[in-house]
Amino acid sequence: MKIFANYIKTIRITSAAKTSLDNLAKSQAIEEYPKLFYCSGFVFSYQFNEALADKIEGDILYLDSFVYAASGRIDSVKYNGYSVEVIDYTGFEIFEKLIRGLKKWHKK
């Protein structure tokens, strides 16, 4: 048996957008399974590119969208009576690297 971990070296995002925490909460509150994620000062949502999911080429992860907002660590957000859980991805190497890249990109 072979086990591969942390093999993704490239993330390709079709659409990335910075928004407010309120907008993230609003967009997720209407989803069937609402989820937000936290890592290194950002709360975010993402969608995999289902069309390319079966065609992952070695070390590339394809995301359709990545929407994020600056925020401290939180457990949930509320919008119009709905509560959306925020899952802590601190320590997940792939998301730590992605957030570091976003921080560099915003400094330009």
* 19 vs 93 pLDDT, higher one: 19
pLDDT value at 4 more than 80: no
- Mean residue pLDDT across the chain: 86
Q: Residue 102: which domain range?
A: 10-107
Contact status, residue 96 vs residue 86, Cβ threshold 8 Å = no
The whole-model pTM stands at: 0.84
> CB-based contacts of 35: which residues, under 8 Å, 6+ apart?
28, 45, 84, 85, 87
The answer as to whether 4 is a domain residue is no
Q: How many domains does the chain have?
A: 1
> 30 falls in which pLDDT band (50, 70, 90)?
confident
What tens digit of pLDDT does each residue of 42-83 get? 999 998 877 766 665 667 888 889 999 999 999 999 998 889
The answer as to whether 3 is a domain residue is no
